[in-house]
Amino acid sequence: GEYNPIKKWMDLDNNVFLTYPSFPSGDVPNHSAGRWDTHSTKFPMLGRFGDTVLFVDLPNEIRLDEVAQHFGETSSIGGSGVVVCGSPFEAPNDPSEGYQFDMTTRRNIDLWGLGSQREHLWVMVGLTSVDQLRQRVAWALSQLLVVVPGAVSIADSHTEAFLTYYDIFVRNAFGNYGDVLREISFSPLMAENLSFLQSKSAAYMWETQGKISFADENFAREIMQLFSTGLYLLNLDGTQKLDDYGQPIPVYSNDEIMSFSRVWTGFDYQQARGNVEETSWSGNRHDPMRIQSAWRDKFPKTDLTGGYIGDGYPLCIDLPDKMFLRKGARYRLLGSSSSPELMEDHSYFKKDPNIKRFVLDSNSGLKARLCNASNGECQYEMSVTLDTNIDCVGKECIADTVRVVDVGGIYYEYARPPCVEQAFYNNAMKVIYRERWADSSCANPLLPYASEACCSVANLRAQRYPNYLYDQERVLFSTANSRCEEIGMTSCDFNDIGGIETHQKGYHWSTDHCQILLKVNSVGQVAIVYEPEDYAYLHPHIRDDNRNFFKVYWRGDYPKNDNDVTTGNNCGGGICEALVTGGCLCDTVISETLVFSRMPENKEEVLANLNIGAYDPSAFDEGTYTEQEANGVKAYFTSFGIFDRDTVFEVTDEFGRIQRFKNTKESVRIKGAPEYSFRNAPSFMSLLNTEASVRDAEYETEAALDHYLHHDNTAPFVAIRLIQRFTTSNPSPRYVKEVATAFRNGKYGQFGTGAYGDLAATIAAVLLEPEARSVTLDADPFRGGLREPILRVMAVLRSMEVEKSEGYPVLRLEGMSDKIGQMAHSFPTVFSFFLPEYRPDGRPGEATLVGPETMIMDMPKMVGMLNGLFSLVKYGLSSCDGGFGAGRGCTEGDFSSAAGQLTLSMPYTEVSDDDQAEAAVNKLSTLLTSGRLSDSNKEIIKKAYKEMLPDVDAALRMAQQLLLTSPEFHSTNIVKMSGESRAEPELPQPSGSPYKAIVYVMFGGGCDSYNMLVPHTCTGIKDMYAEYQQVREEIALPKSSLLEIDASTSNQICDSFGLHPKLKAVQGMYNDGDLLFFTNTGVLTKETDKENWRRDTVTQLFAHNWMQREAERVDPLKEADGTGILGRIADALNKKGRSVGTFSIERNTISLIGTPGLTSTPFILSRSGVSKFNNRASSESMEADIAAINNATAPESGVFGDYWSETLVKSLSHNKLLYDTLSDKQTDITFPTSYLGRQLEMVAKMIDSRAERGSDADMFFLSTGGWDTHSNVLDNMDRLFEDVDNSFKAFADEMKAKGVWDGVTVIETSDFARTLAPNTGRGSDHAWGGNYMMFGGGVKGGKIVGTYPDNLTDDGPRSLGRGRMIPTTSWDAVFLPLAEWAGATTDDLADICPNMDNFPASHFTDATTLFEII
């Protein structure tokens, strides 16, 4: 914008040039070309000069109505002024209700509280709705299929989109889980949440933008791990299946994730519409997404059971002739528009009034069916599926297929039934798009994929058959030949097509043949290569340089390039071409073999041996098939009793689905080396761009969803999750099996439709199974669990009869996530509020039980819960003393300033005080604990009640408060007291040893750490930065922006590395010798390599929760199961008489768990400080009464009730100590107010309080989220690293100011690193080995420890593809020297890292190399 700018011009001769004025003089600035290299990433790329760019691919800032109109299109975002369908159950505004809620429009600004309206609505529905069970099921489903508001850009400004998403669960609570999966998968909120919104195929990105990027993997992973199958194979009763070595068997590997990620490409917002909260500027997040077929991956995709998505579907070439008139043909109403929606016509079709459409004859049976006349008037249906075959009439008899049919001025689109194409086939023919100098491709002559091109002798300007049926009609190759012969011409390898407009041309058949080759990479994946006899241009996705590899199932070995692997075979003994770029290029031949020459013995034999589907025989002409049935199998013969390749077998599978299969198998063999072969791979999507339709993308999506739903794991997986939300945390295998069986059968007693996945049957089984209702089993101490925090609050509001105060039409619960750790529409992560497999310490942990809700049961949240409940009882819905409301007024019993109050009352009835107390406490016990309140606790509460008489209201409030602290209220257990008091936690006594603190910081979500530590200057054999830039493409950091650090003494591939430009303070600590990096580090069972990593690794890789857990445990073989790395370091120090404190900020973590009896249970602190418990107590005896109510329990008492009481007593004791201790602690340095900054500030205050706490060693764990950067990684990392840098600097400066810098070490880790290769959302996906930092006054910094990869490409010895690096340094090698610095000795190390013996001594770095050991 300054004088003399870079000029971007096209001259009169259409030459394009840039002028860079790079020689400044006077006031003329320097605009060297290097500036463009640096800043070009900030400008969205439209394409190259001459490229055709789809309107939907334009950046948002220029995807405007004006641009669309200029080019003769309509905006895909606009939608005003049209009649549209609303979402299910969408309700109109009711003005008579008054002004209760606000909404985002183009006019309002600065609306406060929009982000919490959805929470208030949920509370009101929960309090007032008559369908309470439906609401509870919806709440449970919402915790299983999570949308995280923090991952959605409109979370703070919109309400309705979130309600629309939640309504999926309300609507389908007693419906079918398959419908739930489908709806959440098409939800734009879920797509943004798990970053597959606008994900594009690698082929599309390469063809349109020249970028090597990959489909986003986020949703592909989580829909399996969290929504359907889980991680490990399960029996029907929920127990894990084990391999021969007793290890659980993973459901999927990263290969399957990469495969399924390609299913989730192409999803985009629907057109914006009216009658909803304003979204035209941000995308329609209310309606199910549409699929952009151009963005969709076109190649075969493997499934979870050793097959392909598409197995069991008929081949398109096997559909009956004139399928559009056959049983099962489907038609969709288009109305007055003739433009198809599931297929794509040229955009000029909309403007050309002379476009020729397929008009049905007046006597057509198809027309009669679509018209559906009543009293002479057509009654058009939205969708019509033919239930019988219809005889052809007129031109229907010569059509191979139709696209849109004209029914008297109203149009229907024909949607061919789902079918698949084989990736490889014989006798391929060349098709040409419009003209020879445009693109060519290969097509199957048995499919109607192109139009005819008819030539006269010696004239290669072809013409259409003059009586063609409709513009861009698709016909078979044989039909094309016949039409040309009919007019005295022949099909030809033409130059162009005459007589029609350009937009009327499409692909046309030529007489040239095509070879279909395959390219094999080093791991046996293949890519399809088309080689027509003669062509001018091939699309990049089918050229020999394409990278669209997919997995195939080789029968034995495969051709290997000797340059790719150590044990190559010269590309199949020289049969295939060895490519310089890697891999082998091979010619193919397809063989077809008969499978059964007899009747199969049972349906299992059919299902195990056949995979090519067949269409319904009843749709073929009468007499085509004859039927025979035996052994539960129907066989349909074209020649009676003769088993041939056209025989169709029909069976009903275990899920009640009718499955039909063709009696054949197809193999792809290497021509000239038939010993190399694999099963042919089906695909829904055509490789011809014009035939890759929305229709087939939707079919493929449906097939993938069906595969998830019907996986053997899904029923027990869903059963366990729902049981945990309703009845017990640890259901028995029998219980799980009964619920899973109800899910599979769709029936439980009288409940359910009989359809697989029926939720009414499933919920009925959850609630009505004897294990859920048995009074005898209620006494089992290991049954039940803790109640969800928000459900406890809702139970109080409902049972204590809350009522709104005048002027408060809506009850608003404020700040619940911070106060109690749970609130609707406020999920912290996609893993919900707690992990279903979380195992607490205490009695539940000793019994190896899981307790999901215990994960958020920590001191701040327990105090927050009780303070909020006490405030509700005493002051009504108010903010007083930690209350849940926003009103003020802190006089007990005065509710005049409250937004609502509990109205349950028990007036004095002139009976004795004992009787009054008995009645009151019994009623409260019934309402709040289902009558489970123990006799001893009743007596304590009755005594307190009587002490408040004759003021019955005060007495009731006292009884309510005390009961709300009881284990019976917070758990579902029966509690039996032992009669003994719980021991008060003892304050630790310092040993006098020098103080040491380890501060463990988890970057939760997977830090893209190859943009934290980047190759910079390398004097070796290659330029590593150039390689980094080549692999990272658009998410590479410009070299000029990097903060250079010296690595010349670190024995790395480069002399210097660059830090992310936001890490200036980190650079300073490195240069000061206080910070070092561990490179290519991660979880390892043992040292491994590219060929053996699967065998050598026991950890479930690439999953957030498991990889975080392993970084926190450092015990992959579970030899010290139930403990974490900091807990075991604390064990070692405790053995030496050290006084060790263990603290986590905000959440529970296994990292701090040590050996029971050796290391105390860790305490969880709030980043906001410590709130005083029970301020302005209702009586002086409350503290003693609460302690008595939570006294020690008997061995036969419920373990979760005991866990509540034990944790409460400890929490209240430490709350008092910390409140008193920290109240006067101030930092010398001002910390950032960010989540991480506030946590580190709390750690600094805790370290400052070490003397008061009697501690001479502390272990701290804290975490910060947002690192799961599947999209926009550069922008996100700028924001995240800026916060990290500021927070780390403040903490280091504070430690120096307080004189404890030398005694503190901060270690940073993350779940994993991320792929070096980007995905199509400008993000990166889950990987393995990464780079991490450690700093402190005792750290010998200024070095990089470990081995930075010397090859970042997929050919590198550490790369598993897409830049997923196999670690060279284990977590063990990081934490062992850290333990020694903290005071552990050699004798302790095997206990601290029980896996250390799996590594050679050379794997570890001596502690004295990394630390100043005193």
**pLDDT of the residue at 68:** 66
Alpha helices in 378-486 (DSSP H): 477-486
Residue-wise pLDDT for 332-353, tens only, equals 999 999 999 999 998 888 888 8
Instruction: Compute the CA torsion angle 797, 801, 802, 803 (nearest 10 deg).
Output: 160
pLDDT in tens, 788-846: 999 999 999 999 999 999 988 899 999 999 899 999 999 988 989 999 998 888 899 89
Q: How many CA atoms lie within 13 A of 1183 on its CB side?
A: 12
In whole angstroms, what is the distance from residue 529 CA to residue 217 CA?
25
Confidence at residue 77, expressed as pLDDT on a 0 to 100 scale: 40
1268, 1006 in Cβ contact below 8 A?
yes
Note the pLDDT of residue 16: 47
1132-1174 pLDDT per residue, tens: 999 999 999 999 998 888 899 888 778 877 888 888 888 899 9
Tell me the average pLDDT across 871-893.
92
Contacts of 1377 (CB under 8 A, 6+ apart): 1404, 1405, 1406, 1407, 1409, 1410, 1411
pLDDT of residue 275: 78
Task: Look at residue 748 and give its three-state secondary structure.
Answer: strand
- 587 has a pLDDT exceeding 70: yes
Each residue's pLDDT tens digit, 234-247:
999 999 999 998 99
Determine the pLDDT at residue 1185: 97
Q: What is the pLDDT of residue 365?
A: 97
Report, as an integer, the average pLDDT of 850-854. Answer: 95
- List the structure tokens of 758: 């029926």
SS3 assignment for 1265-1288: CCCCCCCCHHHHHHHHHHHHHHHH
- Say which range, 344-348, 1305-1309, 1333-1337, has the weakest mean pLDDT: 344-348
Say if strands 404-407 and 358-359 run parallel, antiparallel, or are unpaired: parallel
pLDDT level of residue 74 (50, 70, 90 thresholds):
low
Each residue's pLDDT tens digit, 301-327: 999 999 999 999 999 999 999 999 999
pLDDT at 1: 37
In this prediction, residue 377 carries a pLDDT of 92
pLDDT the model gives residue 97? 74
Q: Is the pLDDT of residue 34 over 70?
A: no
Give whole-number Cα distances, 869 to 862, 1202, 1219, in Å: 11, 21, 20
Considering the chain, what is the average pLDDT of its residues? Answer: 91
Going by DSSP bridges, is the β-strand pair 1369-1370/1075-1082 parallel, antiparallel, or unpaired?
parallel
If you search the block for the tokens 């001191």, which residue do you land on? 859
Q: What is this structure's pTM?
A: 0.85
Q: Picking from 64-68, 91-95, 400-404, 674-678, which range would have the lowest pLDDT averaged per residue?
A: 64-68
Identify the band that residue 39 occupies on the pLDDT scale cut at 50, 70 and 90.
Answer: low
- Which residues contact residue 203 at a Cβ distance below 8 angstroms, ignoring those fewer than 6 apart? 297, 298, 299, 540, 541, 546, 548
pLDDT at 283: 84
1362: alpha, beta or left? (left if phi > 0; alpha if psi -120 to 50): left
How many other CB atoms are found less than 10 A from the CB of residue 117? 22
Average pLDDT estimate for 884-909: 90
The confidence score (pLDDT) of residue 82 equals 40
Alpha carbon distances (Å) from 1248 to 340, 997, 1228, 1261, 1300:
70, 11, 11, 17, 9
Residue 322 — left, alpha, or beta (φ > 0 → left; ψ -120 to 50 → alpha)? left
Per-residue tokens: 575: 């049969």
Tokens representing 987? 């304050």
pLDDT over 50 at 22, yes or no: no
| Whether the predicted pLDDT of 181 surpasses 90 | yes
pLDDT exceeds 90 at position 402 = yes
| pLDDT at residue 4, rounded to an integer | 45
pLDDT digits (tens, 9 = 90+) for 247-270: 999 999 989 999 999 999 999 999
Q: What pLDDT is recorded for position 23?
A: 44
Per-residue model confidence (pLDDT) at position 61: 54
Q: What is the pLDDT of residue 983?
A: 84
Determine what percent of the chain is predicted with pLDDT higher than 90: 77
User: Are residues 589 and 680 in contact, defined by beta-carbon separation less than 8 angstroms?
Assistant: no
User: b/e map of 1276-1287 (b: 16 or more CB within 10 Å)?
Assistant: bbbebbbbbbbb
pLDDT at residue 71, rounded to an integer: 66
**The pLDDT of residue 414 is above 70:** yes
**Secondary element (H or E) of residue 667:** strand 664-670
Query: Which is more confidently placed, 115 or 1371?
Result: 1371
